[in-house]
A and B are shown apart, each in its own frame.
Chain A
């Protein structure tokens, strides 16, 4: 049986954040109930496919999944349990936002098998939180965090963001230290991206109001600070935007870069099954061998450990040197890639301009 990752999408939130371009939005109680029903039906409809797999990780994302009633989450997990064979040691994560959980909900989460929580903090500065359009303050976050600890969750991630409007290098450092001092097992640290179709794009898109945003040099310093500070607290960077205490790397996230098969259920969720990538209800994209090889490279390079040459050869029947030797040599010469034993990985400089390096693997295989 092959390993499978399950992703469950809950497209609801209290209020959309100003930068958010995910498929999510506020909805009525009735709409939520209806969604949960159809989600459970969809989960069960995969019974046939489920036979070939054992589920290694589950990730319930959104939106704000914690907005659902405890009872509704129970039903979703019951449907998964009936349909799929879930490994005993599976990593089961759920996203939550401060101000949407209660002690009771957390107890239910624990009882249905959720063993990892991912909490969106973004910043420890209340002014910055307001600028982002977040619904909570730092204090409210803290309350939820402690509640989760009390409920017995021993694997918690905190999401942090840099390049927020009005953020300074100092306030960024303060957020990082504040979060790290709470000793979560995992910290996701990434940059704000001004996405089209969001209120932020109206305000900041195409270089508008650039003075409100940290400039390029400041952003660069924040980025360097992040790594330095988190390392100080014992977090290691295992993926481009993810840091963890040893042994707490997010298996679900790593699975994407290893090209483990995944099944996304819920509105707009993406899947990769049998080298076909598809969105729920959408037309599947067939990945040719050269697509697969390119993905192996450019996705795999997101991992700090890099990509394994041996695994490449086992998966595709030809060596990485044969297929990508020229690109790899060129990038090594430019100081962007290096080799360590069986692995090819990004250098510090390569991490800085990872898109440039990754694009080298497209259309050359």
Chain B
């Protein structure tokens, strides 16, 4: 069987900074290998979720198997494993890399090495992957391939002299990439006769097949009927089908042996049982130990999600349950808000993950949502010795019961060109960052190291970073534990009533500033109503900021003719329509988007 000769298999991934052309190169390679005709090619076939295409990011790791007939006359099987490109999905990237033997590093010939390029390369080197550089976008007028090659050799320290100079967009020199894969990426190892040891790098739920596990077989063989065991979750099942990945489809096969990449289906009903990073083994003949590196991924960011129409609560629950089938890192549990009624407190890997889920709920499930400001998990140490992991600010105990609180801290690396170092340092300073050092990676570029509280970066840090560096800074972080911090709960009172869904936790030092900005923002967001509405920010019983929404403006005394009636009606309908997107809290109508105001405090 063709696939069993390990020397003819290459398992690799493509790593790149966002926009450097990863997906385009993948498309070209798939085209060139002739598995699909050009006509069948949708652009970017690897990104098959509509949302991914629109955002230009790959969310779920996927794989594709292609067959390449090399110049030496031999046919090779390439398993291209796609990796998500965002820091929120770092762990999934790491597991995808663990399934590969080599990596293609795509670097933009005009932009050169970026912070994310480095982070990804280090990650690949950590997994002992052979990194093969490719210089893309050589067709751009601003391309400087020689300079970029030097940069790769100097900064990353890998040989790049014979890196293919390509244009993925125009299909220039793709064949050279394919040839180098054969030469430079090592063939996999492993013994087909050994006890089964397979790494799960992704899993999806399919309503016909149940859970489909994406895995790399490290040792042994798996086929229909093999009793399997997930070593971390302990789930057991019997294999129903194995196969490999055609472009955009699953192609069943006889068996998967050591060195191969493919999928397994068994009668598994829940992706929770098949966590990324877990090891699949033969339940009857288990391997001695699981593959290293498994960790349970926990949500980092929480927010409340409520249906705009209270009657849609069951629909929201169903939708979340469906999404969770495919996304083990999504957490949710029911909660109740005085202002918003019944909804869910949901946990996410990061802000991007949150936004993706929110958009999918709205788009794919047609739900109109009210989302509250995101929050990190705070640890609250109570005077009675209890420790609470706080995900919803309104559940903060009374200050008299709190001994102290801790907040999550991240180690952040910001890569920036030298002219913006000052403004980025100011930004980190404003966000309570602790400077830990800086190194120049070349004359004009430096990496800044900071310790930053996570709650300072989940809101609008990315946007602020981009706007203060004219888009040049890039950013990466990893969680670095909890630290004690002086935190307070900021409450918002609208028309003298506390609106629980607007409360948030903030550092005592920035509370006044945040309170003031929050009131200003809400003043903009809340339309005038029949009476004057005070908006106040308070810590405990102390009011720290106040704004007023004036009473509704008088209508102009319009002259009206018979001919104006249709127009008048449209005007009234518009006014009426505006009211529908409002949430009645007490006797004040609050627009749904106002509940996210805290995210936009730095807007100009």
Interface residues of A (CB under 8 A from B): 5, 7, 61, 162-163, 188-193, 216, 219-220, 223, 240-241, 256, 262, 264, 268-272, 277, 279, 285, 295, 298-299, 302, 334, 336, 352-356, 358-360, 362-363
Contacts and interface: CB of A to CB of B under 8 A. Distances in A.
A240 B554 contact: no
B563 interface: yes
A190 B575 contact: no
B562 A352 contact: no
B558 A356 contact: no
Given A190-B557, A359-B579, 4 more contacts: A193-B556, A240-B557, A256-B562, A363-B573
Nearest to A194: B556
Nearest to A216: B553
A358 B566 contact: no
A192 to B, nearest CB: 8
A270 B571 contact: no
A353 B530 contact: yes
Contacts of B568: 298
A359 B572 contact: yes
Contacts of A162: 557
Contacts of A362: 569, 572-573, 576
A163 B579 CA distance: 28
A77 B552 CA distance: 46
A295 B558 contact: no
A359 B575 contact: yes
Contacts of A298: 568-569, 572
Interface of B: 530, 552-563, 565-566, 568-569, 571-573, 575-576, 579
B558 A7 contact: no
Nearest to B587: A334
A223 B562 contact: no
23 contacts: A5-B562, A7-B563, A61-B561, A188-B559, A190-B556, A190-B559, A219-B554, A223-B557, A241-B557, A241-B560, A268-B563, A270-B562, A279-B563, A295-B569, A353-B554, A354-B555, A355-B571, A356-B555, A358-B572, A359-B572, A359-B573, A359-B576, A362-B573
Given A298-B572, A353-B530, A362-B569, A163 B556 contact: yes
Contacts of B565: 256, 270, 272, 277, 295, 299
Contact of B552 (A7, A240, A302, A356): A356
A228 B568 CA distance: 27
A241 B552 contact: no
A354 B555 CA distance: 7
A280 B585 CA distance: 47
B557 A191 contact: yes
B119 to A, nearest CB: 45
Nearest to B563: A270
A189 B559 CA distance: 8
B580 to A, nearest CB: 10
B573 A269 contact: no
Most buried by A among B552, B553, B558: B558
Contacts of A216: 553
A356 B557 contact: no
A192 B561 CA distance: 15
Given A270-B562, A277-B566, A353 B576 contact: no
A14 B560 CA distance: 23
Nearest to A282: B566
A334 B531 CA distance: 10
B577 to A, nearest CB: 9
A241 B566 contact: no
Most buried by B among A188, A220, A356, A363: A356
B560 A355 contact: no
Nearest to B559: A190
A334 B563 contact: no
B552 to A, nearest CB: 5
B562 A193 contact: no
Contacts of B571: 355
Given A298-B572, A334-B530, A269 B554 contact: no
Contacts of B575: 355-356, 359
A192 B563 CA distance: 18
A47 B207 CA distance: 69
Q: When A and B form their complex, which 4 residue pairs have the shortest distance between CB atoms, in order from nearest?
A: A191-B556, A270-B563, A359-B572, A359-B575
B553 to A, nearest CB: 6
A219 B554 CA distance: 9
Nearest to A355: B555
B216 to A, nearest CB: 58
Nearest to B530: A334
A271 B563 CA distance: 8
A189 B571 CA distance: 21
Contacts of B569: 295, 298, 362
A191 B552 contact: no
A295 B562 CA distance: 12
A352 B555 contact: yes
Contacts of B552: 352-353, 356
Nearest to A336: B530
B199 to A, nearest CB: 58
B562 A241 contact: no
Contact of B563 (A5, A264, A363): A264
A192 B556 CA distance: 8
A219 B555 CA distance: 10
A193 B576 CA distance: 21
A241 B558 contact: yes
B572 to A, nearest CB: 4
Contact of B566 (A256, A285, A336, A355): A285
A277 B562 CA distance: 10
A265 to B, nearest CB: 12
B558 A191 contact: yes
Contacts of A5: 562
Contacts of B554: 219-220, 223, 352-353
Contacts of A353: 530, 552-555
B557 A189 contact: yes
A192 B559 CA distance: 9
Nearest to A268: B563
Contacts of A188: 559
Nearest to A279: B563
A61 B562 CA distance: 11
B562 A7 contact: yes
Contacts of A189: 557
A17 B158 CA distance: 74
B43 to A, nearest CB: 39
Most buried by A among B556, B563, B573: B563
Nearest to A188: B559
A162 B576 CA distance: 27
B528 to A, nearest CB: 9
